[in-house]
Structure 1
Amino acid sequence: MNILVVGLSHKTAPVEIREKVAFAPTAMEKPLRRMLALPAVTEGVIVSTCNRVELYATSRDVEAATAQLKRFLAEYHGLAADVLAPHLYDLSGPDAIRHVFRVASSLDSMVIGEPQILGQIKTAYGYACDYKTSGVILNRFLHKAFSVAKRVRTETQIASNAVSVSFAAVELARKIFDTLTDKTVLLIGAGEMCELAARHFVTNGVAQVLVTNRTYERAVKLAQEFNGKPILFENFADNLHRVDIVLASTGAPNYVLHQRQVEEVIKQRRHKPMFFIDIAVPRDIDPKINDVDNCYLYDVDDLQGVVQSNLKERHKEAKKAEAIVEEEIGQFHQWMSGLDVVPTIVALRKRFDEIRQAELEKTFANLKDLDGKERQAIEAMAQAIINKALHQPITVLKSAQNNAAGDGYVEALRTLFNLPPVAGENAETERAKIDEM
């Protein structure tokens, strides 16, 4: 049995292609059942995010299953196969295992270390479980992928450094103040960047959020989202003495906050520190504020520098994560190999036992005068011959299941002795039988 991946991502397809093959997360039953109905596919999971669409499947015929999955992806979304084909990748065996482990560990993400992808794969797997399109192999495979991702997060620092401007601002604030639980944040502006930064600050426990904007209604609306307080734009300077962190992002052509204002505020605050974040272009905050004692000002370039530095750190940690992935691939591939080796050994023994039984029946039919002891002696001899004949091939097959030769031996034995296919689901229960041989 083989694991396959067919899909596309931000690395191989532009957004206008990705959006055409995206699956609606609330309507996964139909595509999952159609995927499982493909002749060469035995199990299936569909992962669909804004940056990737991937089909995870199992099959005994890699070539046929790959072709069918590609055709399914195009036909389901009404696309011409030749339009989609240049953007698709397909992987099988250890390459497929490696790919999914890397994806779950966020090593293949647009932003290395981002946490969302693991949750998205878990959601996709949940749908497959609901509609019973995953089986013993994909169940174990994806649980292993989840545990690999957990190892990567606990044993490396891949997700510990901020790689967005808004979150970098929060990290810097935490370095300045140690804790944010008793701090007040003032947002000057109510646009997307301010909103995103506010979410990060609230998540990290700030005590209060104040919002000011030239359009007061917008300030009211954003303040409501964070249980904050709106302030009239013309009055925000009068509230600065209450504020520990100021984040500005407006469309003003000139500074909205000047050095002289902040000097007065710092005196009112008895020189308690203030942190200013200016993510506007053109800038909202006079850079001379950085010269005021106990005032710390970062503009968008400063924050981008922090982000780039953190990205470099994440890439260093990614090397450690890759080593974890490689270690886990070997362990899982060994289990996968055993899925075919174990049933093959059982089927081989069964075939030889059928031959033994048939020949004993013929022999005893022609030797009707045999007593019980003589019959037992002949049965024991036949069993001993079978055991001796099978000892070497079973020993070789068992030892080869941990390396590439195992697959070749399995196929050879199944062909030579015309062994019937044995479902992978039986492999776990059959291991106990093999251990006794």
Structure 2
Amino acid sequence: MSLLVVGLNHRTASTSLLERASVSPADTPKVLHDLVAAAHVAEAVVLSTCNRTEIYAEAETFHGGVADISDQISRICGIDLADLAAHLYVHHDARAVGHLFSVVCGLDSMLVGESQILGQVRGAFRASQDAGVAGGGLSALFQAALRVGKRAHSETSIDAAGASIVAVGVQLAAASLGILGEAPAAPVAAPGAATSGLGTGPEPVAPVEAPPLAGARVLLVGAGAVGSLAAQTVRRAGAAEVVIANRTPARAARVAEMHGGRVVGLTDLPHEITMADLVITSTGAAGLVVDHDAVAAALPGRGGRPLVFLDLALPHDIDPAVRDLPGVSLIDLEALRVALDGAQVAHDVEAVRSLVAAEVASFLDRRRAGRVAPTVVALRAHADAVVHGELARLRARMPDLDDREWDLVEGAVRRVVDKLLHAPTVRVQQLAGAPGGDSYAEALRELFDLPREVPAVVSAPDLDLVERS
């Protein structure tokens, strides 16, 4: 069996393509049943969010599984596979485990560290269970992934990473606008302030620091998770006006309602750029949302006011060439990574990556051991059947032995068999964690002519052990 994930996300596909690939909760059961009805897919989980659609599967063969899953995604999107292939990625076995663990921890999200994905993965797994298409392999994987996700969010501050990126971006934007840090040069006495007992005049009053974006007009382009967080951040930073533009007006309206703001259409962007002090983009579009010429056309109507772009999208929304325009500043994710280098957010991201690497190695060890365990159980069951048959024949030939004598004979035979099997069964379990470990179990099956079919009673205890770990 091959563990596979085939999908597309905000790094490989445009927002419009992701919308076409989206699988609603109502459609999920049919998609799952169509997948397992294919020739090579035995188990399946569909994870569909605003930033990704991924199908996880246990497949009979690698190439057959990839073909079946890719065909299913093609049908969901209504796009020929030849045109869709460039946007798809495939991960196999260890890389598939690492990918899911990174996803559930928020490392693969547009907003790094966001915790909403944990609930989305849990919901996807539950839907697969309800449809009866999550067997032992994917159940072990997703239960382990959910446990890793909980560890990441409870043992580190990865949840705050995305918020930190947006907050630092807003601070840098405010500094570029010349708003940050504007305060009276010297302490000013408040009217009617009391004087000191020494008669030296009014007590100085500490200046009240202005909010970083006090009085600023902010244009948000994109109303997803990042855009919503940006709206919240600029409001707290004192923005006087927040304008929201999004491809889906209803989503922009929700953000405006939550954080206060005015909704405009994407066709209004040229005018709104002319009016704005800060433009924050987070659309996830495949191409540029704001190009050099559009910004150049907006500058004459600005009266020389500085204009700052904060590009939080991946791939970027803003043409890098706007940096060359007079009075225009551009802050992108690369600049934010430099600003955050060595900060707590970078530390937490690295801590989660280390956690994921360790958990992937541990899971793969358990998975390999789980594959060997049925062979070990089958070998011992085979040996027990041989011993039982030989003892029955011996008892028939030696009817005069009393119970005490028979117990001694039976015990001796069983001890001999147990000792002969002990070394190979222990060793094959130890070797299972090494590269090519499955080959040792295969050798045992060939040498002892063990059946290929693994009864449920053989595999179930090992799956339970994996799920509880």
TM, length-normalised to structure 1: 0.67
Residue 421 of structure 1: which of 426, 431, 454 is its match?
A: 454
User: What does residue 161 of structure 2 align with?
Assistant: 159
User: What does residue 378 of structure 2 align with?
Assistant: 347
Instruction: Quote the offset at 1:298 in angstroms.
Output: 6.8
Cα distance in 2 for partners of 1:315, 1:415 equals 55
Question: Residues 312 and 115 of structure 1: is their aligned pair in 2 closer, same or farther, counting only changes over 3 Å?
Answer: farther
Contact 2:211/2:237 (CA < 8 Å) preserved in 1?
Answer: yes
Question: Residues 109 and 277 of structure 1: is their aligned pair in 2 closer, same or farther, counting only changes over 3 Å?
Answer: closer
Instruction: Quote the offset at 1:354 in angstroms.
Output: 0.8
Q: Which moved more, 1:374-383 or 1:124-133?
A: 124-133
User: What does residue 425 of structure 2 align with?
Assistant: 394
Contact 1:346/1:430 (CA < 8 Å) preserved in 2?
Answer: no
Identity in percent: 25
Cα distance in 2 for partners of 1:328, 1:212 equals 43
Cα offsets for 1:353-397 (capped at 9, x unmatched): 011111111222233333223322221122012102201111202
Question: Residues 181 and 29 of structure 1: is their aligned pair in 2 closer, same or farther, counting only changes over 3 Å?
Answer: farther
Question: Residues 413 and 84 of structure 1: is their aligned pair in 2 closer, same or farther, counting only changes over 3 Å?
Answer: farther
**Aligned runs of 1:304-315 on 2, under 5 Å?**
304-305=330-331, 307-312=333-338
**Aligned runs of 1:4-43 on 2, under 5 Å?**
4-12=4-12, 18-38=18-38, 40-43=40-43
Cα distance in 2 for partners of 1:374, 1:359 equals 16
Residue 333 of structure 1: which of 364, 383, 402 is its match?
A: 364
User: What does residue 97 of structure 1 align with?
Assistant: 97
User: What does residue 225 of structure 1 align with?
Assistant: 257
Cα distance in 2 for partners of 1:338, 1:254 equals 63
Structure 2: which amino acid aligns with 1:352? A
Question: Residues 366 and 88 of structure 1: is their aligned pair in 2 closer, same or farther, counting only changes over 3 Å?
Answer: farther
Contact 1:6/1:54 (CA < 8 Å) preserved in 2?
Answer: yes
Contact 1:100/1:145 (CA < 8 Å) preserved in 2?
Answer: yes
TM, length-normalised to structure 2: 0.63
Cα offsets for 1:272-316 (capped at 9, x unmatched): xxxx7577953676667xxxxxxxx87336773375421346687
Instruction: Quote the offset at 1:192 in angstroms.
Output: 4.9
Contact 2:273/2:279 (CA < 8 Å) preserved in 1?
Answer: no
Contact 1:7/1:90 (CA < 8 Å) preserved in 2?
Answer: yes
Cα distance in 2 for partners of 1:193, 1:22 equals 18
Cα distance in 1 for partners of 2:259, 2:430 equals 64
Contact 1:162/1:171 (CA < 8 Å) preserved in 2?
Answer: no
Contact 1:40/1:68 (CA < 8 Å) preserved in 2?
Answer: yes
Structure 2: which amino acid aligns with 1:336? R
Question: Residues 308 and 163 of structure 1: is their aligned pair in 2 closer, same or farther, counting only changes over 3 Å?
Answer: farther
Instruction: Quote the offset at 1:99 in angstroms.
Output: 2.0
Question: Residues 323 and 372 of structure 1: is their aligned pair in 2 closer, same or farther, counting only changes over 3 Å?
Answer: same
Does residue 378 of the first structure (1) align with residue 409 of the second (2)? yes
Question: Residues 79 and 415 of structure 1: is their aligned pair in 2 closer, same or farther, counting only changes over 3 Å?
Answer: farther
Does residue 46 of the first structure (1) align with residue 46 of the second (2)? yes
Contact 1:40/1:60 (CA < 8 Å) preserved in 2?
Answer: yes
Instruction: Quote the offset at 1:338 in angstroms.
Output: 2.3
Contact 2:372/2:428 (CA < 8 Å) preserved in 1?
Answer: yes
SS at structure 2 position matched to 1:23: coil
Cα distance in 1 for partners of 2:366, 2:145 equals 14
Cα distance in 2 for partners of 1:5, 1:189 equals 40
Question: Residues 346 and 228 of structure 1: is their aligned pair in 2 closer, same or farther, counting only changes over 3 Å?
Answer: closer
Structure 2: which amino acid aligns with 1:393? P
Question: Residues 187 and 13 of structure 1: is their aligned pair in 2 closer, same or farther, counting only changes over 3 Å?
Answer: closer
Contact 2:74/2:81 (CA < 8 Å) preserved in 1?
Answer: yes
Structure 1: which amino acid aligns with 2:450? N
Contact 1:170/1:200 (CA < 8 Å) preserved in 2?
Answer: no
Cα distance in 2 for partners of 1:64, 1:222 equals 43
SS at structure 2 position matched to 1:251: helix
Aligned length: 377
Question: Residues 312 and 254 of structure 1: is their aligned pair in 2 closer, same or farther, counting only changes over 3 Å?
Answer: closer
Instruction: Quote the offset at 1:340 in angstroms.
Output: 1.7
Contact 2:235/2:259 (CA < 8 Å) preserved in 1?
Answer: no
Cα distance in 2 for partners of 1:2, 1:114 equals 30
Q: Which runs of 5+ in 2 are unaligned?
A: 183-207, 244-252, 263-268, 281-293, 310-322
User: What does residue 65 of structure 2 align with?
Assistant: 65
Cα distance in 2 for partners of 1:365, 1:70 equals 62
SS at structure 2 position matched to 1:159: helix
Cα distance in 1 for partners of 2:273, 2:390 equals 98
User: What does residue 233 of structure 1 align with?
Assistant: none
Cα distance in 2 for partners of 1:373, 1:194 equals 82
Q: Which moved more, 1:90-99 or 1:106-115?
A: 106-115
Question: Residues 388 and 167 of structure 1: is their aligned pair in 2 closer, same or farther, counting only changes over 3 Å?
Answer: same
